Chains A and B, each alone.
Chain A
């Protein structure tokens, strides 16, 4: 993989954040290439989700620079970042619980709407064509994830695994360039996880996606990610392919250190 700058989708320099006295993330540097599937791993409390929250604009970093598609986006609000092609899922699922599955997906593509209040009040042609387009797209995505027959159900009524899938569908509906997945397989069993990972692989090809994935489970990440970033206590421990990470002494210590004490 070449490291030329035109292939660079996301570049993070010196990213740091403090909560009170705690340095949750400290001077983190990394980049994501176009088309890459990068894993972000680390023990509990390593600061993975905090990195996501800074990337998507929920938290404001106390220092550092986030460069997305060649532009510094530090000052942008979360919805503006989303409109530039960054979509995410949440570690503890945040669906629009009382809305239907379909409406959840439609809200995901809400940012693509070009019609305004006037069009929806007077049912203009533009309104109809766009509604139809988005509806078709949403149904296609739901189909892909085996959720089409649930489209009229309330999101809160779905079983846990399907809620996780729905979050991914919702994120995909906005046609993002970069998809941030926060522990997409959390709480799933083995076969469900395998299914999900194959699905992610397929989606990635179909939509030409770049994915940054937080995961707890080392094995899973090793299996599918080309590039892995290991985080511990807010600091980068190691970065590279699975071979490099697997053999890194620092990583082994961070992950296995606790077991050694026994």
Chain B
């Protein structure tokens, strides 16, 4: 059993130590952005299962995040919440509840709509996402259009006289989810079981003829993806301390799609990198806004999306993962070295 969870635990440890070291040099603003990176990683990874691996184009990810966020917030604000370790535990339970409800929503949405393909599916998922938002707008006990404010942040934890600050607890909590999500998807997608997702993406008719229950596979991907989207939504709610239906607009779904596309559809490591880039980019472009006096960030963002599609349509990593890319880089570099060495020895021989 130990070998089965060693890698995930190691990953969790490493990112947490890194962030802890980083934490000494950063202010609250940077810390918040770090947390958003983790939320976006979770969002991008989960969407990649549907859009990248299974090849189904969903444009309604925000809707499932909304379900997860509202569920978790409902429990925290209306049912029961406590500070300290118990609070963290409760938040965990509520996140799972949010994820499960989002998964249920994913099932209900996916079952009828996954018969459709390509553009049609994109539009229908967009429609469902918007419907979820409209329903929330009309739910007075969830704040209606005003939303819910004052959502408690992830609590700090007191151990003896030592206090772990809210940020570190929050990061630990969020990164745990990211690690769980990453390793679940990795193990699933790169096993023979997960080949069914790829088969559906490559050729649905052939997959069906090979005994792959394509509809079931698609729904499965959709449900799992929605679960993690719901969890991501619950995290987002705690980090922003305020949610309203407007937080989960069409643009959030588009944002998720952009991350998946930029990272490479069918590349989990690519999604992580892209999520980090897309979260940091608007902040990095802030100086530009001060110089020009107008907010050009979103314009650049949109332009970048179009340019990526034209210049590098496969995204950063294509459908490959980081280790593979790293290896092929090393091989080409070695090859170049070898040929260079050969040339050198040849020229040395000819000169002598």
Contact = CB atoms under 8 A, between A and B. Distances in A.
Q: How many A residues are at the interface, by size bracket?
A: 35 or more
A87 B196 CA distance: 17
Chain A residues touching B, majority SS: helix
A154 to B, nearest CB: 11
Nearest to B211: A111
A171 B207 CA distance: 11
Given A96-B198, A122-B4, A123-B187, A79 B213 contact: yes
Given A94-B203, A97-B203, A99-B202, A120 B193 contact: yes
Contacts of A119: 193
B210 A111 contact: yes
Chain B residues touching A, majority SS: helix
Interface residues of B, number: 27
Contacts of A60: none
Contacts of A80: 213
Interface in B179-211: 184, 187-188, 191-196, 198-199, 202-203, 205-211
A77 B212 CA distance: 10
Contact of B212 (A56, A79, A88, A99): A79
Contact of A82 (B187, B192, B209): B209
Contacts, number: 102
Nearest to A96: B202
Nearest to B224: A117
A53 to B, nearest CB: 10
A107 B199 contact: yes
Given A97-B202, A106-B195, A170 B210 contact: yes
B213 A121 contact: no
Nearest to B180: A121
Nearest to A134: B192
B214 interface: yes
B203 A113 contact: no
A108 interface: yes
A120 B213 contact: no
Given A83-B211, A131-B192, A134-B192, 8 more contacts: A78-B205, A79-B213, A95-B206, A98-B319, A107-B212, A110-B210, A113-B192, A122-B4
17 contacts: A79-B211, A87-B209, A90-B206, A90-B209, A96-B198, A96-B207, A97-B203, A98-B198, A99-B195, A106-B192, A107-B210, A113-B193, A120-B187, A123-B3, A123-B187, A170-B210, A174-B211
The 5 closest A-B pairs by CB, nearest first: A111-B211, A82-B211, A96-B202, A94-B206, A120-B191
Interface of A: 56, 58, 77-80, 82-83, 87-88, 90, 94-99, 103, 106-111, 113, 115-117, 119-123, 127, 130-131, 134, 170-171, 174
